[in-house]
Chains A and B, each alone.
Chain A
Amino acid sequence: MPLGDLEQLVMLALLRLGDDGFGAAVQREIAERAERDVTLGAVYTALARLEEKGYVQSRIGDPLPQRGGRRRRHYDVLPAGRAAVAEAWQAMRALSRGLSAQLEG
């Protein structure tokens, strides 16, 4: 199943974050790296969809004081997810070959 635009971003952010991937961290990563301002709600929507597609898996952490005693939901990228990102990246690369002058100019 192909990835949507926001889903790609979320997947890449999760890969970067490694074990520390959760909603707000993903949002911050996207904002800092891609300079894209997405709402947390949108991130959660994307995460839920990715989980549904079997690309990520969530685990629930311990209650934390800075969250008012709420728990975190961490997301780990599954092999299928990694493959989907790779596929999308391959496709990007194949299509953009020879265009670097135009794309970076």
Chain B
Amino acid sequence: MSQAEDRAALRPPRLALWLLERRVPEHEREFLVGDLIEAFHEAAASPAAVRAARRRFWREALAATLRREHDHQAIPFTRGLMSDVGFDLTLAARRLRRTPGFTFTASLTLALGVGAACAIIAVARPALWGALPFRDADRIVTIRERFGDGSAGRLGYQTIADIRRETSTLAHVAAARFYAPTLTDESGASRLTGLAVSANWLDVMGVRVAFGRNFTPEEDRPNATTVVLLAHQLWLQRFGGDSGIVGRTIKLGDVDHRVIGVLPANYESVLNPGAEILRPLGYADTRGSACRDCRHLQAVARLKDGVPVAVAARDVERVFDRLREAYPATYGKNGVVLTPLRDQLNERTRAPLLALIGAAALLLLIALANTTNLFLARAIQRGGESTIRAALGASRWRLARSMLMEALLVSGLGSLFGFAIAHAALGGLVALAPASLPRLDQVRIDLPVALFTVALAVALGMVSGLLPGAFMNARALRARLATTSRTVARGAHDAVRRTLVVAELSLALLLLCGAGILVQSVQRLLAVDVGFATDDRIELALSATGERFQSEEMVRETWRALHDAARAVPGVTSAALTSQLPLSDDFDSWGAHWEVPAADGRASDGDVFRFAVTADYASAMGLRLVSGRFLTDGDKAGSDPVVVINEQLARRRFGDQSPLGARLRIGPSDSPLRTIVGVVGDVKHPTLDADVAGQLYLPMDQNLFADSYVRLVVHSAVEPGALIRSLRDAVHAVNNGVPIAEVSTLSALVDRAAAQRRFAERLFQVFALSALVLAAVGIYGVLSGMVGERIREIGVRSALGATRQQILRHFLRQGGVLAATGIAIGVGGAWLLGSALRPLVYGISPRDPLTIALVSLGLGGVALVSTLLPAWRASRVDPMTALRTE
């Protein structure tokens, strides 16, 4: 050990000493500390004992400083640091109470920014960051087949079975398909949504049943699947939360199913929102629907511990290498995509949510600029007071601290108001939010969100309170004391103010441009010709599943009877049945195979939407007939097979020639050839912004099979509520085993299809409006502040002969320069950030020049008006009054 180290080691711990010097009452400080040091040196005589001596010193120091007050007159812990803070806080509170205008404006401005941020974060958190209620959720991946065109989709059962067998990196591989049984009990029939899953589904999710038991592999076999697990919510709502439910049987599709367990309350069906009942899948390789081509199963897997997704993906890809070789016709060039559950969940919503968070951040920055400006004005007003305090020896920190305390109080108020705003907004946001937003039911202002909000408010408050303090520095104050002129310190904070205005204007421009573009985008989306009429039309989803509908004929008979009954309801203009409805969640596409291949040799068109409909579907939906005829009641089961195609398909296959009379097959190659008898206009399906695909309509009676799920479309002038009631009665009179689900008007259907964009648009509108108001207030505040400070200068100028026009022009020019700079920067920003809006935009460029130009003009106008008032006031200044104000 060197000598220097030796000496250092022999000094008592410095921090402990500092603590002692600070905390031990003065009358005994010297003696007690001296005793300790003396004892320390005695104890630390040998190098081996130094550590023990230091430890002992610390112990003694802590004991001495923490002695309770009634034992001795130790300095209370709150004095010194804390009592000053308390004093400053009290003083700050008193000052804020004296200026309610400032307090209210500043905290409300802060609240606007913070509240918006809080609400958006609350909405986005469950989807983007909130913990998923599964064990090691980051180890869960979805598996999708990647097709030649780059799209990805579901898998066939045998493919999943192969992956399960031939991979070593996956702990569990589960499959699931849609399952919508009809539950019949005393209250009648109702349709449940659920999943048919392989027995290891809960193993993949890492979830245990709340009570009861999980499926066994034996139950995941054909004809053994009459057991179900209930989601917690369903169990509460339909079965009264009765824990005796396990072991009881319920009627699903007229068949007894045994309830074997209930899922935990926090289980969320994140991939299939709303699924509330689980049944074993019960597939075997021999089942028809288990084929490799039958790609209708959702596959999820749990990675083995420590295996990265990329490694597992290569592992599964190897399985596909073999499959491609073994079954070239089935797999072609297909590959596989593994996506972590969280990413899968946010595939479509991540970008829009981030854009909204970005918008909220812009608003926040504008709010920050405004509050900073308010505090700056306050600091300047208090210049005299600060000067005197500085002269009397107050440190710069001490001066800044009083401002900081005000800022903290304003932050506190701001976060309170902000919570109120966020709370009020959240209900509306959730109501407005598109159903496609993942985990919407988990949206709430919980503790982390609240803490984040408060932290944000405090940070903002600190910045806006400290920034002006930085310009109230000692030098400026001394200079002021020396000259007692109002104009001296102006340079520094004027620059701050100008920067603030420019920043505010450019940020506001960004938000306004975003809002402008989104508004137009939604308008264009809603103005899209959906291809069908929406007025006075409602739809009901019907299903005929279960034991009593085992025979095809029974299903067909039921639909026929229901169709007749619906048409007979008083006030109904027309009523039709269809196997799928545009813009609903239905998605049923088939291959169309031409009798005569097209000129380019193409014999089939894949992915054509199949609508199996009753003859009056065209009138019920108001479809536009282009050529030929639509289906008629004469197109029956026994008559010639016919089909009606849409314009897009006609153009794609026949170009300018008439398709009438040509023939095609739908689906399997052994299905009958159907003659094209008509062409109708395109309808938007499955989404508003999708490119129109081929669509074909065939008579329900001529379909290869009877659809178990259909929709009833009704055109009627009767008020929807009453209409739905009578339709419900009519359906039940025909067959009380047919549940009705998803009743909706067609216009609501279209609205829903635009919901995600409308959600973003509304939010941007609100943000942009707030930004505009804040920016206008900000400009006004800054300029009137400048004018107010320069009254004397204005007085001198006019005394020296400046005319009112000249003064007016002078201030207008100043405002104009600021506005122009802000707008120019904003336009640049709008150009740069445009791509962030792309996922939200339809039918318009995210950098639409016209919008940017119009918004710039508008904002410039607002800036001008905000400048005008203070400038006009400046021009009215009476030189004599002005010179006397000093």
Q: Is B41 an interface residue (CB 8 A)?
A: yes
Q: Which of B38, B60, B63, B67 contacts A66 (CB 8 A)?
A: B38
Q: Is A36 an interface residue (CB 8 A)?
A: no
Stretch among A10-18, A40-48, A77-85, A86-94 lining the B interface: A40-48
Q: Size class of A's contact patch?
A: 20 to 34
Q: Is A33 an interface residue (CB 8 A)?
A: no
Using a CB–CB cutoff of 8 Å, the interface residues on chain A facing chain B are: 22-24, 27-28, 39-42, 44-45, 48, 64, 66-68, 70-73
Bound-state CA distance A23–B32 (Å) is: 7
Cβ contact within 8 Å between B35 and A22: yes
* Interchain residue pairs A-B with the least CB separation, the first 3: A70-B34, A41-B64, A67-B34
* Inter-chain residue pair count (beta carbon < 8 A): 65
How far apart are B16's CB and chain A's nearest CB, in angstroms?
Answer: 13
A40-B34 contact given A45-B67, A45-B71, CB 8 Å threshold: no
Besides A64-B34, A68-B37, 16 other A-B contacts (C-beta < 8 A): A23-B32, A24-B36, A28-B39, A39-B64, A40-B64, A41-B32, A41-B67, A44-B28, A45-B71, A48-B72, A64-B38, A66-B38, A66-B41, A67-B35, A67-B37, A72-B34
Q: Name the B residues within 8 Å of A64 (CB-CB).
A: 34, 38
What mask results when residues 56 to 95 of chain B are scored 1 for a CB within 8 Å of chain A, else 0?
0001100110010001100000000000000000000000
Using a CB–CB cutoff of 8 Å, the interface residues on chain B facing chain A are: 28, 30-39, 41, 59-60, 63-64, 67, 71-72
Provide a sorted-by-A list of 16 A–B residue pairs whose CB atoms are within 8 angstroms: A24-B38, A27-B39, A39-B64, A40-B32, A40-B60, A40-B64, A41-B32, A44-B32, A44-B64, A45-B71, A48-B28, A67-B35, A67-B38, A68-B34, A71-B34, A73-B31
Q: Which of A28, A41, A66 contacts B37 (CB 8 A)?
A: A66
How far apart are B1's CB and chain A's nearest CB, in angstroms?
Answer: 21
Q: Which of A28, A39, A45, A48 contacts B60 (CB 8 A)?
A: A39
Interface core residue of A22, A39, A40, A71 (most chain B CB under 10 Å): A40
How far apart are A70's CB and chain B's nearest CB, in angstroms?
Answer: 3
Bound-state CA distance A35–B498 (Å) is: 74
Secondary structure at the B interface, as helix, strand, loop or mixed, is helix
How far apart are B673's CB and chain A's nearest CB, in angstroms?
Answer: 102
Bound-state CA distance A33–B36 (Å) is: 20
Q: Name the B residues within 8 Å of A45 (CB-CB).
A: 67, 71-72
Bound-state CA distance A62–B32 (Å) is: 15
How far apart are A3's CB and chain B's nearest CB, in angstroms?
Answer: 16
Using CB atoms, name the residue of chain A closest to B12: A68
Q: Which of A24, A40, A42, A70 contacts B30 (CB 8 A)?
A: A70
Q: Name the B residues within 8 Å of A70 (CB-CB).
A: 30-31, 33-34, 37
Bound-state CA distance A40–B139 (Å) is: 58
Using CB atoms, name the residue of chain B closest to A68: B37
Using CB atoms, name the residue of chain A closest to B41: A66
Bound-state CA distance A5–B38 (Å) is: 26
Q: Name the A residues within 8 Å of B64 (CB-CB).
A: 39-41, 44
Cβ contact within 8 Å between A41 and B30: no
Bound-state CA distance A42–B33 (Å) is: 14
Bound-state CA distance A30–B71 (Å) is: 20
Q: Name the A residues within 8 Å of B30 (CB-CB).
A: 70-71
Q: Name the A residues within 8 Å of B35 (CB-CB).
A: 22-24, 27, 40, 67, 72
Q: Name the A residues within 8 Å of B36 (CB-CB).
A: 24, 40
Using CB atoms, name the residue of chain B closest to A71: B30
Q: Which of A24, A72, A73 contacts B39 (CB 8 A)?
A: A24
Bound-state CA distance A41–B623 (Å) is: 94
Using CB atoms, name the residue of chain B closest to A67: B34
Bound-state CA distance A8–B64 (Å) is: 21
Interface core residue of B34, B36, B67 (most chain A CB under 10 Å): B34
Bound-state CA distance A28–B60 (Å) is: 13
Using CB atoms, name the residue of chain B closest to A74: B31
Cβ contact within 8 Å between A42 and B32: no
Q: Name the A residues within 8 Å of B33 (CB-CB).
A: 70
Q: Name the B residues within 8 Å of A48 (CB-CB).
A: 28, 72
Cβ contact within 8 Å between A23 and B41: no
